[in-house]
């Protein structure tokens, strides 16, 4: 079964000043988008690089997550250190994920170029830094569609299942009406009965 770590990085939410919106937004989206069974492990932590690094290591090395999604802490402000922590624990960087996230966000705001979101692999786990706002999380994962439901810009999650295949993770199926996973024909398994 797919195991997903969800990490919300926020000084204020982690100290109880306001309610975290990142983890609920991720859980809601995943429950709509995944056809495969999955389990989540959640963490709400402050913008502290050492704590983010330790959390990512724990989710990968001890909890055995196949995928880790972070939300928050990706801007240029001094306290935004999620990408720095993610790169510090990475074995390999996957730059296409960050490039595509910024491409999607640029459709809405010119300040998307300030985002430092990254995608990396640690061992056999994919770690992705997502935006902090629920609307932006959904757009980044799902992509942009026309009013007729046609994909205008692919979301990053279209590539996640095949990436997991390539790094040794479980075979993940999505709900095509939400996000259609792309795999080459040679990597596709027959649909589940």
Domains and CATH numbers, the chain: 2-187 (3.40.980.10)
pLDDT of residue 150: 82
Q: Which residue has the tokens 């430092």?
A: 116
Q: Report CA-CA distances (Å) from 27 to 47, 78, 135, 138.
A: 21, 28, 13, 11
User: Cβ distance 32 to 155 under 8 Å?
Assistant: no
Q: What is the pLDDT of residue 116?
A: 96
Highest mean pLDDT, choosing among 161-165, 175-179, 188-192:
161-165
- What is the reported pLDDT for 193? 44
> Residue 5's beta-bridge partner residues?
41, 68
Q: Which of the two residues, 15 and 42, has the higher pLDDT score?
A: 42
Token pair for 92: 């390999």
* Alpha-carbon gap, residue 94 to 42, rounded angstroms: 23
Q: Tell me how crowded residue 18 is: count the other CB atoms within 10 A of its CB.
A: 9
User: For the segment 89-135, what is each residue's pLDDT rounded down to a tens digit?
Assistant: 999 999 999 999 999 999 989 999 999 999 999 999 999 999 989 99
pLDDT band at 47 (very low <50, low <70, confident <90, very high): very high
> 122: alpha, beta or left, given left = phi > 0 and alpha = psi -120 to 50?
beta
The mean per-residue pLDDT over the stretch 144-167 comes to 91
What band does 192 get if pLDDT is binned at 50, 70 and 90? low
Residue 157 pLDDT: 98
Averaged pLDDT of the chain: 93
Distance in angstroms (rounded) separating the CA atoms of residues 1 and 190: 18
For residue 186, what pLDDT is reported?
A: 87
How many other C-beta atoms lie within 10 A of the C-beta of residue 100?
Answer: 20
Mean pLDDT of 157-162: 97
191 pLDDT higher than 80: no
Rounded CA gap, 159 and 79, in Å?
Answer: 30
- pLDDT for residue 174: 97
pLDDT band at residue 17, thresholds of 50, 70 and 90?
Answer: confident
- Cα 53 to the center of its chain, rounded Å: 16
């Amino acid at each position: 079964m797919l195991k997903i770590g969800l990490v919300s990085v926020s000084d204020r939410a982690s100290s109880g000043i306001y309610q975290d919106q990142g983890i609920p937004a991720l859980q809601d989206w995943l429950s709509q988008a995944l056809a495969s069974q999955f389990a989540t492990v959640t963490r709400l932590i402050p913008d502290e690089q050492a704590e983010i690094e330790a959390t990512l290591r724990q989710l990968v090395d001890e909890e055995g997550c196949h995928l880790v999604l972070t939300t928050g802490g990706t801007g240029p402000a001094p306290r935004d250190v999620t990408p720095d922590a993610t790169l510090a624990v990475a074995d390999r960087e996957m730059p296409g994920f960050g490039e595509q996230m910024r491409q999607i966000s640029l459709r809405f705001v010119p300040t998307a170029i300030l985002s430092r979101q990254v995608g990396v692999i640690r061992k056999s786990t994919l770690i992705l830094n997502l935006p902090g706002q629920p609307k932006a999380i959904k757009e980044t994962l799902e992509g942009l569609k026309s009013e007729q439901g046609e994909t205008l810009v692919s979301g990053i999650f279209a590539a996640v299942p095949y990436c997991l295949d390539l790094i040794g993770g479980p075979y993940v199926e999505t709900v095509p009406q939400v996000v259609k996973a792309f795999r080459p024909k040679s990597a596709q398994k027959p649909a589940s009965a």
